[in-house]
Structure 1
Amino acid sequence: NTITVEINTDEPIEVERDKARITFSPEDGDFVTLTCVVQIDSEYVDLRGEVLEVTVIEPSRLIPGRGTVTLVTDGGGEIQAVDDFYSFEMALLGNNGTYRPQIGDKVQFEAVENEFFGKRCIRVKLLQQAQHKQPQQHPPQQNQPQQLPPQPSPQQPLPQHQRQPNRPSGTDLYEDKFGIRIIGEFDVTFSNVQESVERVVTIRNESDKRHKIMRLFLPRTTTQLRLLEPQAHSQTFLFPNETAQYRFEITSNLYGRSRETCTWNFGGGFKIARSFNIRTGEDGDGTSEQNPSQAVSARESYFKRKLAALNQSRSRKRYIGGRRLCKTPNFVAHKIGVYEVPKDLFELVAGSETDEIVQEQLSAPPYRFDEPLTCGNYRHLFHTALFLEEINQHIQFRKYDQERVQFVPQDKYLALLMAGISESRPSVIPGDMVYASATWRDDAAEFQGIIHKVLADRVLLLFDNLFHQSYNGESYRVHFEFGRGQQRKLHHALDTVPKTLGMEYLFPERITPNEPLMNVVLNEREEMVLCNSKEDIDNNDGNDGDDKERKLPWYNQRLNLYQKRAIVNVLRGEVRPLPYVIFGPPGSGKTLTSIELTLQLIANVPQSRVVVATPSNSAAYLITERLAQSGLLKPGEFVRLVSMSQVEQENIPPALAPYCATVSIGDTHCAESEEILVTENGMRMKLQAKHIGRNRVTISTCSAFGTLMQLRFPPNHFTHVIIDEAGQCLEAETLIPLSLINQTVGSVVLLGDPQQLGPVQLSRYTEDRCVRVSMLERLLTTSRLYAVDRDRFPDSFGYDPRFITQLRVNYRSIPSILSVYNEMFYDGMLLPNQLENTADDVKLLGIMHRILEVKRETPDYGLFFFGVDGTNKQAPDSPSWFNNAEACTVLRVVQKLFLKGYEMQDIGIITPYLMQIRTIRRLFDIASLDAPKIGTVEDFQGQERRIIILSTVRSSSALLQHDIRGMLGFVANKKRINVAISRAKAALLIVGNPRLLGRDPSWQEIIDRALNNNTYVGCTLPPRNHRGGADGGNI
C-alpha cells in the first residue's frame, strides 16, 4: 500500500501510507509537498542525496473557495468560482457521504493543484441548495445494458505490450484499463510555429460490458490543442466492440518540446489519459547532445598531444622573426623579468592524462595549492595561478593550428582566413604570433608572423619583408602562440607591490588613524564643507555662516547622499594608505562617483596626480569622455593611454583621439629618445615618462598601466589610484596600478561589487580557489577591518565608514525588476530611484503582455519567463552549446518588438555560450534583420538596455551535474545570474527550461516570481521544487 511521487531527481519516491502522516486523500496528478529526513552535509540539504524517510505528505497548495455547481455526472462534476473551474469526483469527496452536489448549488470547497484537472476538489460543503429540483434519475430501460457498478479496485492495468508509448513514467493514469483502449498518433513534429495538423483519437471498448464516457478534460491553459468534435462534455455509451472518435487540431505555438494532455473520465470512476508530444523547430543538424565532460576531456587530450608533438618538432628549428606592433627600444629604465613557466609544472599539467593526477600533485609540495592565502605564500600561490593560466593558454591555442593553409595578400599584410576567429576563446589579439613552416621540408626555418589586426574571419599578419616578397601562394603548416608580455607584467607586479607597500598593506589587520587629508564634512543639506579645524567640524550645524569659501561645490548636482558620503570619506582619508572600498551594486552610479571623486581631487588637492584604472577599454573610454565633458580638465591635463593593439584595430573613438596617446618605454636619458608624433585626428604617439608626468589625470586599463612600470618617474609622483569595477580584476591586475605608488604618499580607492562577475580565468585548476577572487572581494570577505558589524556601525549599514561606503540608490531598473535581484542578492538594501512605472514603461509592459500572451490583468510587472523545453547541442569540434528552439523563440519576440517600433539599441540579448550567440545571429541574418547586441554575461557587465532577453540554453537534465560544476556553468553561478537579470531597465524576459533551471534555488525563486505574478508562459511546468526542507512533486 504505497504512493509513488515523482520529484526532480532521477528516481521517484515510494512512500508507504502507514509510515507517513497524510493530510488528505491524494490522487494521480496531485502536486504535493513531502517533509523528509534526508542525508545532509555540514551546511545544507543535498537535493541529490538519499531520502531516508518521508514523514508528511500534504498538498503543495490548498485552495479554499466558493462557487456554483455547473455540471454533475454519475462520477463527478464541476464548480465554477470567480477565478476558475474546479473539478470533483463523487467517490473522492471528503464529505462522509452526507452531501452529493447538484447543479445550481452554492458551495464552499477546498481544492488541490492537479496535473490533469488543473484544480481538484477534495472537500465540498453545501452553503445554499439550488432552487430548482433535479429531474428524477430513472434506472435504464430493459433494452439498455446495465452500467458498470462502481468497482472496488478501479485500476487494472493491461499487459506491458499493450501500454501506450507516450505515457510518462511513474503513473498508471496512461494505462488502458477495463477493456478500454485509446489509440492514436500522439507524436507531432513541426518545422516552425503557427503550423497546424489534425489528429484523430479512437476509443475502443474491447470488454464484454458497456462503458460510459463521462467527459474529456483538456488542459485549461493550452493554446496548441483544440477539440473539433465532439464536445468535451458529451457523454457517450460504448457497447462491446464499439468505438468513439475524437478529432483534435494541434497548432504549434511553442518552440522546442511541449506536451498537451487529455484525460477521459469513465463511469465507474476510472480515468485514462493521453499526451500529444509536440516538437517544433528542432531539426537534425549533425550535432549531438553528448556528455560535455567526456567531450572536453577528449578534446583537451588531443590538444595536449598536439602540444607535445609541436614542442618536440620546434626544439630543432630556428625561426625568422616578424614585424612587431612597435619597435622595442634598446634601453628601458626598469626591465621586466621573463618569468618562464617552470618546466616541472608545465610537464605536470600538459603531460598528465587525467585531472585527478594534476589536482593531487598541485595539492602536495612544492605547490601546496590548496593552502589558504597568507603573507607567507602570497607570491607563490599567485605566481602559480598565473603559470597555470598560461599553460592552459598553450593547450587551448592548439585549436587554431592548421596543417595546410595559404595566405591571402591584403594591403601590406598577409591574411590568414579563419571563420569566427574574432569570437573564439581563448581570444586571439594583436601581438600574438603565427609560425609558418614549409610542408615540403621538415628542416627549413620557420617564419614568425605578428598579428596586427583581428577581423571577423581572418587575422592580418606581418612577416619578415623577405617572406612577403617571395610568397607565391604556397601552402604552409601554421601554429599559434600568444604574446607573453601581459603575463610578465602581472608577475612583475606580484614581486613589486609586496616590497613597496608591504604585506601589512595586502593583509590589513591594524588601524593607524591619520589626521584627515581634507577636513570635509556633509552638512544637513548634503553640502560639502571644508573646515579649518577640529572645532569647526564639531561645531558645524549646517548653517551657511559668513565664510562662503568653506563650501566646496559638487560638479554633478544629481549625486545622491550615499555617493556624497563616499566622496567625503575618501577625501578625508583617515586610514590611508589602506584601500578605500566603494561597494556599488548594479545601476548605483559607481562610474559617476569615480568621475566626481577625480574632479574633486584635482580641484581641491593641488599636489594630486591621479591614476584612473579600469578592467576594460570600453570603461576607460567612458571615463575619458565624461572627464572631457566636465570642462574642468583640458587636453594636456589628462591623458588616456592606449595600447598599440587599440591603434591597429582602429578601436579608438574619433572624438576621444585628442585625449589619447601611446607610450614609449625608451629611457628618456638615452640618446635614442624619440619625439612625440601627432596623428591627423590629434592622437599622440610614443609619449614618454616626462610627458605623461605633466598630466594631472592618467586613464587606462589595469593591464595597459603595466607599461608604466618600465618608466622612470620622480619619487611619489602619483598620489591617488582609483580602480573602477575592481571586482572584475585579478588581484595581480589590481597590483599593476598599485605598483605606481608607495606607502608615504598614496591613496587607493576600489570601486566594485563582489556580488557581480569576478575575474576571468579559464584554467580549471584555479577554480574555487582563493587566487580566483579579486582583491576587492578578498578584503571584504577575509579582513576584519572591512567586515560588516551592525552593532558598531548601525548608521552605515554595518560598514566602518573609514574603510567602506555602500551605494544604495538604483538608477537603472523599474521597481518590479529591481526587487528581484535586490532581495535575492542584496538583502533588500537597494532603494529605487524610480518609485513608479513611467508612461513609456507601462506602454512597453503592455506590449510584452500582448506579445507573450500572459494572463496578468495589469501590465505593471517587468519579469517574464518563457518556458522552452528544447534540446541543447554541441558541434563535434566545439565545446560550446546552442539551443535552436530557444534561439527561434528569441527571434520571434524581437521581430514583434521591432514591429511595435522598438529599435536595436533598446534590446540586449544575453546568452552564456558563443555557439548560441552565433545561432541567434544566423537566424537574424536569414530573416534579413539587423540584430541587437548579442553577447555573453561578461560582454554586458556594466551595460543596460530597456529590454533584456536572456537565453539560458541548457536543457538536458541528464547533464545537470556537469552544468553546475562546469567551467562556463550558468545554472548555479549566482554572480552570473545577478549580472544577467540586473541589466534590464523596464522588461526582462528569460527563455529557458524550467525543469532544468528549477533545480537550482536561485532560478526556482525567479520562476516562482513569474508564476506568482502570472507572467510565466510556455511549456508545461514541472512539479514544485524543493522548498525549506520539503520535496515537491506530483503523484
Structure 2
Amino acid sequence: MEDDRNHQVAQGDVFEDVDNHGNDCYRVIIQFTGRMFGSFSQWVIFDFGTYPVLVRKLSVEVGSQDVLNVVKSLHQKYLFDRWTSQNCKIVRQPEPSNPTDDQLLQKYKAPDASECLITQDIIIAELNCNNYIHKMHKLLELEELTRHKIISSFNICTTVQIQNNISESAGSFYARPGELFMRVPLSDNLTEDTNAGQLILTSVKKIWFAPLNQGRKRVFEANILDSSNYGFDGRGKEYIYLCVPPVCVQALGLEAGSNVEVEIQFQMNRLHFCRMHFAIDCLQNIDIVFPYTKNVNPSFKQDTALTHVSSKFLNEDQMKVVQHIVAERVGYSPPFIMYGPFGTGKTETLAQATMMLIKESKSARILICAQSNSAADRYIVKYLDKFLKERKLEDKMRRVYFKERRVNTVKLEVQKYCAMTERKDAFSPPFREDIMQHSIVITTVETSLELLHLNLRGYFTHIFVDEAAQVLECAIIMPLSLATEKTCQVRYFTSSMATKAFTHAYPGLILLLTSA
C-alpha cells in the first residue's frame, strides 16, 4: 500500500521468517523489471518503532555489457581504505566554528561508496538543462572522491614521536597545557610537484589517526601545525608536526618522549565542495548555464545615453564589449563571454565598463568576482581607487574579504574599502544593509557565496567574473546564483580550452579581444 507521500509501505509481519539455524528473521525478496537502459535506485527503510531506523539503498544498472564493464572497473578503481563517520567513531577536539559552515557540512555528506556514486548515467548521459543539477552534484561527489584517493597515497602506518616542545630553525616553543605534539615521518617527500603533495599543501589541515594496537573502532583527530594555532608551519618535506588535543592525550595516555605506532589518514577540508553543492541548489535559473539560444536578442535601446559611450583607453572591439555591457538591452540576453590571450585588455575592458556604469547610471550595482584576492585587489589599485577619489565616491565601493584574512597582508589603499572591526585588526563579515549601501562590491568567486546567504539575489544589476577559466564550473555558479533574468552577466577567459566547456551553452556569444 501507499502512504500520503506515495511511499510503498508494507507491514513487517509479511516478511517474518526463520533462518537456517532456527532463529527468527525478516526475509525481503526484491524484484525489479526494467523497460529501458539506465541507473535506478531506491531506499528501503526498516522501522521497528523506535529511532534510529535502519536504511539500505538498493541500486540496479540496466544497460549493455560493455557499459556495465566500464562501471564495474571504475568501482574497483575507486576502492580504497578510508575512514568515515559511517565506519568508525571520530573523536574530535571541540573548536569554534561558523554555524553556516556547520550547516553545509551537515547537509552535504562526504561521498562514501563508489558503488552508489558511479553509475552509467554519470558516465553516459550528456549534461543538459533537465539533469544539470542532479548530475553536477554527482560529478562534484566524484571529484571529491578522486581527490580523497589521491591524498590517500600519503596515508601511512608508522611510529611517531610524542613531544611537548618543538625546536626547529624557524623557532622553538612548548605545547599549550594539556596538548602535545606529534612528529610524523612521511612516506614520500611533501612537495607541490605531485598531485597528492599539492592537494595536501592546499586542502589538508587535519589528520585522523588510530593506535595500531587498539583497532579502528575509535579514530582521533589532530590539526597540522600552521599559522592559525601556533604560528608555525608544521609541514616539512619529510615530516609533519601535529597538535594533539587534550581529549586525545587523555584518552590514549600519551606522554612526552614516547613513541607510538599509529595509522594515519589525511583529511581534506570538504567545505569548498559543500559550498559548490549549495550554489548548485541555489541556481534558480537554469538558463544561466543553458541559455535559450533561439530567444537571444542582442539588440539594445538606441535612444539611451549609454548607447553612445566612448573611451580613449579602448579600441573598437573592446568598445563593442563595453557597449553590450552598459546598454539597456531589449528582449532576452544570455550571459556574455569574453576570452582572449594574456595582455589583450580584458581586465581593462571590464574596469572601464564599471567606471562608465557608475558615471552614467545611478541605479547600477556591480559585483566583481575574481579567482584570487590579488586579482580582485587589482581592480581597486590600478583602476577604481583613483576613479572614485576624483569623483569623491569612495563610499560607494566595498571590498569583501573572508574574515580569517590577515589585515597586514592587504594594501592600505584596499583596506579603506573594507569593513573592519573597531580595533582595525580583523575584517568583519558582510551584512545585508552594508552591501546595499554600495554600488560596487568586489570579492573572490568563493567569498561571493557569503552574499547569497544574505538574500541578495537580484540586487546586482551587473555581475562580472574575472578569469573564470581558472575555477571549476560549479564555483562560477556561486556568484551567478545571485543573478536573475534582469542581471547582466559577463565572464572572461584567457584559455581557449575554457570556451569548449561552454560552447554548447553559448554559441555565437564568444568574443575574441584584440590587443589593448
TM more than 0.5 = yes
- Matched to 2:351, the amino acid is I
1:658 aligned residue (410, 415, 419): 415
1:699 aligned residue (431, 442, 453): 442
Contact 2:306–2:326 (Cα < 8 Å) also in 1: no
- Matched to 2:313, the amino acid is R
Secondary structure class of the residue paired with 1:429: helix
- Matched to 2:150, the amino acid is Q
Change (3 A) 1:371 1:658: same
**Corresponding residue number in structure 2 for 1:806:** 512
- Matched to 2:459, the amino acid is H
* Shift of residue 480, structure 1, vs aligned partner: 1.2
**Corresponding residue number in structure 2 for 1:319:** 91
User: Can you list the C-alpha shifts for 1:152-198, whole angstroms capped at 9, x where unaligned?
Assistant: xxxxxxxxxxxxxxxxxxxxxxxxxxxxxxxxxxxxxxxxxxxxxxx
- Matched to 1:615, the amino acid is Q
- Percent identical pairs in the alignment equals 18
* Shift of residue 607, structure 1, vs aligned partner: 1.8
2:470 aligned residue (728, 752, 755): 728
Number of aligned positions between the proteins? 407
2:282 aligned residue (496, 499, 506): 496
In 2, Cα distance between equivalents of 1:778 and 1:331: 30
User: Can you list the C-alpha shifts for 1:594-639, whole angstroms capped at 9, x where unaligned?
Assistant: 2212222222222222111122333223234224543416655333
* Shift of residue 807, structure 1, vs aligned partner: 0.9
**Corresponding residue number in structure 1 for 2:397:** 638
In 1, Cα distance between equivalents of 2:213 and 2:327: 70
* Shift of residue 748, structure 1, vs aligned partner: 0.2
Secondary structure class of the residue paired with 2:409: coil
* Shift of residue 711, structure 1, vs aligned partner: 2.4
Matched, 1:747 2:488: yes
User: Can you list the C-alpha shifts for 1:548-583, whole angstroms capped at 9, x where unaligned?
Assistant: xxx7574xx432222222111211152555111223
- Matched to 2:160, the amino acid is V
For residues 450-461 of structure 1, what are the structure 2 equivalents within 5 Å? 450-451=223-224, 452-453=226-227, 457=236
In 2, Cα distance between equivalents of 1:632 and 1:447: 53
**Corresponding residue number in structure 2 for 1:447:** 220
Contact 1:375–1:507 (Cα < 8 Å) also in 2: no
- Matched to 1:750, the amino acid is R
Matched, 1:620 2:372: no
Secondary structure class of the residue paired with 2:452: helix
**Corresponding residue number in structure 1 for 2:43:** none
**Corresponding residue number in structure 2 for 1:712:** 455
**Corresponding residue number in structure 1 for 2:266:** 480
Contact 1:620–1:699 (Cα < 8 Å) also in 2: yes
1:578 aligned residue (334, 347, 370): 334
In 2, Cα distance between equivalents of 1:467 and 1:400: 22
User: Can you list the C-alpha shifts for 1:713-743, whole angstroms capped at 9, x where unaligned?
Assistant: 3x63222110111233322122110111212
In 2, Cα distance between equivalents of 1:415 and 1:720: 50
In 2, Cα distance between equivalents of 1:472 and 1:444: 25
* Shift of residue 493, structure 1, vs aligned partner: 1.9
Matched, 1:782 2:504: yes
**Corresponding residue number in structure 1 for 2:28:** none
Change (3 A) 1:569 1:552: closer
In 2, Cα distance between equivalents of 1:431 and 1:607: 43
Contact 1:582–1:804 (Cα < 8 Å) also in 2: yes
Matched, 1:398 2:152: yes
* Shift of residue 491, structure 1, vs aligned partner: 1.7
- Matched to 2:318, the amino acid is Q
Change (3 A) 1:642 1:440: farther
Contact 2:463–2:490 (Cα < 8 Å) also in 1: yes
For residues 784-863 of structure 1, what are the structure 2 equivalents within 5 Å? 786-787=507-508, 803-809=509-515
In 2, Cα distance between equivalents of 1:615 and 1:391: 24
Contact 2:403–2:428 (Cα < 8 Å) also in 1: no
In 1, Cα distance between equivalents of 2:380 and 2:109: 36
**Corresponding residue number in structure 1 for 2:322:** 567
Contact 1:562–1:808 (Cα < 8 Å) also in 2: yes
User: Can you list the C-alpha shifts for 1:310-330, whole angstroms capped at 9, x where unaligned?
Assistant: 438982333123535xx3238
- Matched to 1:716, the amino acid is G
User: Can you list the C-alpha shifts for 1:33-55, whole angstroms capped at 9, x where unaligned?
Assistant: xxxxxxxxxxxxxxxxxxxxxxx
Contact 2:210–2:220 (Cα < 8 Å) also in 1: yes
Contact 1:580–1:804 (Cα < 8 Å) also in 2: yes
**Corresponding residue number in structure 2 for 1:374:** 128
**Corresponding residue number in structure 1 for 2:109:** 340
Change (3 A) 1:630 1:416: farther
Contact 1:447–1:464 (Cα < 8 Å) also in 2: no
User: Can you list the C-alpha shifts for 1:513-563, whole angstroms capped at 9, x where unaligned?
Assistant: 48737856xxxxxxxx656xxxxxxxxxxxxxxxxxxx7574xx4322222
Structure 2 gaps, min length 5: 1-73, 167-171, 228-232
**Corresponding residue number in structure 2 for 1:673:** none
Change (3 A) 1:684 1:616: closer
* Shift of residue 700, structure 1, vs aligned partner: 2.2
In 2, Cα distance between equivalents of 1:686 and 1:465: 31
Change (3 A) 1:588 1:507: same
In 1, Cα distance between equivalents of 2:433 and 2:281: 25
Matched, 1:329 2:35: no
Contact 1:576–1:746 (Cα < 8 Å) also in 2: no
In 2, Cα distance between equivalents of 1:515 and 1:338: 43
**Corresponding residue number in structure 2 for 1:389:** 143
Change (3 A) 1:303 1:513: closer
* Shift of residue 749, structure 1, vs aligned partner: 0.6
Secondary structure class of the residue paired with 2:362: coil
* Shift of residue 339, structure 1, vs aligned partner: 2.9
* Shift of residue 338, structure 1, vs aligned partner: 2.4
**Corresponding residue number in structure 2 for 1:211:** none
2:351 aligned residue (570, 595, 601): 595
User: Comparing both chains, which one has the higher relative contact order based on Cα–Cα distances under 8 Å and sequence gaps of 6 or more?
Assistant: 2
In 2, Cα distance between equivalents of 1:431 and 1:635: 39
**Corresponding residue number in structure 1 for 2:44:** none
In 2, Cα distance between equivalents of 1:302 and 1:320: 31
Matched, 1:677 2:434: no
2:313 aligned residue (513, 533, 558): 558
User: Can you list the C-alpha shifts for 1:746-780, whole angstroms capped at 9, x where unaligned?
Assistant: 11011114515x4xxxxxxxxxxxxxxxxx5444x
Contact 1:303–1:399 (Cα < 8 Å) also in 2: no
User: Could you state the TM-score of these two structures normalised by the residue count of structure 1?
Assistant: 0.35
2:201 aligned residue (421, 428, 444): 428
* Shift of residue 593, structure 1, vs aligned partner: 1.3
Change (3 A) 1:425 1:560: same
* Shift of residue 376, structure 1, vs aligned partner: 2.0
* Shift of residue 487, structure 1, vs aligned partner: 0.9
* Shift of residue 590, structure 1, vs aligned partner: 1.1
Q: Which has the larger radius of gyration?
A: 1
- Matched to 1:702, the amino acid is V
Change (3 A) 1:688 1:517: farther
Secondary structure class of the residue paired with 1:782: coil
Secondary structure class of the residue paired with 1:630: helix
Change (3 A) 1:505 1:314: closer
User: Can you list the C-alpha shifts for 1:106-158, whole angstroms capped at 9, x where unaligned?
Assistant: xxxxxxxxxxxxxxxxxxxxxxxxxxxxxxxxxxxxxxxxxxxxxxxxxxxxx
In 2, Cα distance between equivalents of 1:626 and 1:304: 47
- Matched to 2:142, the amino acid is L
In 2, Cα distance between equivalents of 1:618 and 1:460: 30
RMSD across aligned C-alpha pairs, in angstroms?
Answer: 4.0
- Matched to 2:273, the amino acid is Q
